[in-house]
Amino acid sequence: MNFKVRAAKLGDASAVARLSRELGYPAEVKVVRERLRAVLGRDDQRVVVAVQRRGSLCGWLQAHTSVAVESGPRVEIVGLVVSQAMRRRGVGRCLVAVAETWAREISAETVVVRSNAKRVESHAFYPALGYLPLKTQVVYRKRVDV
CA distance 15 to 60: 9
Name the band, by pLDDT with cuts 50, 70 and 90, for residue 136: confident
Query: What value does the mean pLDDT take over residues 110-117?
Result: 91
**What is the CATH classification number for the domain harbouring 108?**
3.40.630.30
Determine, yes or no, domain membership for 92: yes
The model carries a pTM of 0.92
Determine, yes or no, domain membership for 139: no
Determine, yes or no, domain membership for 112: yes
Determine, yes or no, domain membership for 65: yes
Determine, yes or no, domain membership for 135: no
CA distance 127 to 133: 8
Domain count along the chain = 1
Query: What is the span of the domain harbouring residue 91?
Result: 3-128
47-100 confidence digits (pLDDT tens): 999 999 888 999 999 999 999 898 899 999 999 999 999 999 999 999 999 999
Is residue 73 a contact partner of residue 108, using CB atoms and an 8 Å limit? Answer: yes
CA distance 115 to 122: 7
Determine, yes or no, domain membership for 75: yes
Is residue 39 a contact partner of residue 13, using CB atoms and an 8 Å limit? Answer: no
Is residue 64 a contact partner of residue 111, using CB atoms and an 8 Å limit? Answer: no
Query: What value does the mean pLDDT take over residues 23-43?
Result: 93
